[in-house]
Amino acid sequence: MTPDTTHDTTQDLTYGMTYEWLTPSPAERVRWDVDVLYGPWPRHHRDADLAEVRARLARSPVERALALSTRGALFDAESGNAATLRDLADCPELLPVGTVDLRDAWGAEERIEGLYAAGVRFLRLFTVEQGAEPDFPGYRHVVDVAQTRGMVLLQDGDPRRFGPALAGRGARVIFLDLHTYLLGDFLLLARHEPGFMATTRLLSAPDSIERVVGAVGAHRLVFGSRTPFTDISPQTLRLRYARIGAAEREAIAGRNVEELLS
């Protein structure tokens, strides 16, 4: 079989060495990545600024992405959202995502209104970083306000904990941390919740993507890499070689996000 990849030669000027990289196959192309961050992150070995993240994406099969500054999650939601909107104004391949501080649900209402007025349609909730639980009044209030504006939630944490709190609301939710080990519970939730989706990032078992597609359909999955903290290549390859049809792969790689945007 003839490989459908091409070779590209790149020189590392720091050490004077030449490396040969494989250019991704067209079958690995991803039109939308929903899980991209830039800025400081305490648990990572170094910060990744916007220029570095854009360069990583440019070298990858990912064409466009939903992105936001980590400042909104770790320091201050208002200035973080302002930074995201300002920084990404000149980045046509990146679509701004907003966030709020779940520890200040009263102020979060104003933040959400401002994001919506600015055209932001995705709201990322950092429950792990901010210590929010699904039964906290503040968390439930934020979800209610976001829903009134028709925003899509990018939800971190265990879907088994947050899924029941989001069920029965008609919410559109993308779970960012669905692990293979949690797949059975997610499928039980998704069977009754048409707005529940998840990223492929942690679906590492050989048949995980196939199980979701077979049980609830390809329209329940989107691509999310968590760039720059996770390598993109293994994830694009996993999607490429998943035993699903071309139309199903195309849906996961971008069409599902485009339908949310429409």
Q: Give per-residue pLDDT as tens, 17-75.
A: 443 345 666 778 999 999 999 998 877 666 689 999 999 999 999 999 999 999 988 88
CB 126 within 8 A of CB 99: yes
Mean pLDDT of 172-195: 97
**Peptide bond between residue 228 and the one before it cis (omega within 30 degrees of 0):** yes
The reported pLDDT for the residue numbered 41 is: 80
CA 216 to CA 211: how far, in whole Å? Answer: 8
CATH number at residue 56: 3.20.20.140
Mean pLDDT of 134-159: 96
Q: Is residue 5 part of a domain?
A: no
Top mean-pLDDT range of 11-15, 107-111, 149-153? 149-153
Question: What is the average pLDDT score of the chain?
Answer: 89
The torsion region of residue 195 among left (phi > 0), alpha (psi -120 to 50) and beta comes to alpha
Is the pTM higher than 0.75? The answer reads yes
The reported pLDDT for the residue numbered 16 is: 45
Q: Give per-residue pLDDT as tens, 81-95.
A: 999 999 999 999 999
Task: Please tell me the total count of domains within the chain.
Answer: 1
- Does position 15 have pLDDT exceeding 50, yes or no? no
The reported pLDDT for the residue numbered 185 is: 97
Q: Is residue 138 part of a domain?
A: yes
State the DSSP H helix or E strand holding residue 148, giving kind and residue range, or none if neither.
helix 137-148
The CA-atom distances, in angstroms, between 60 and each of 34, 52, 242 are 15, 13, 19
Q: Give per-residue pLDDT as tens, 187-224.
A: 999 999 999 999 999 999 999 999 999 999 999 999 99
Domain that holds residue 98: 33-261
Q: Is residue 16 part of a domain?
A: no
The reported pLDDT for the residue numbered 44 is: 66
Token readout for 150 is 């028709």
CB 97 within 8 A of CB 120: yes
CA 243 to CA 52: how far, in whole Å? Answer: 33
Q: If 0-12 CB within 10 Å is exposed, 13-18 middle and 19+ buried, where does residue 43 land?
A: exposed
- Does position 3 have pLDDT exceeding 70, yes or no? no
Q: Give per-residue pLDDT as tens, 189-199.
A: 999 999 999 99
Q: Is residue 23 part of a domain?
A: no
Q: Is residue 242 part of a domain?
A: yes
Q: Is residue 9 part of a domain?
A: no
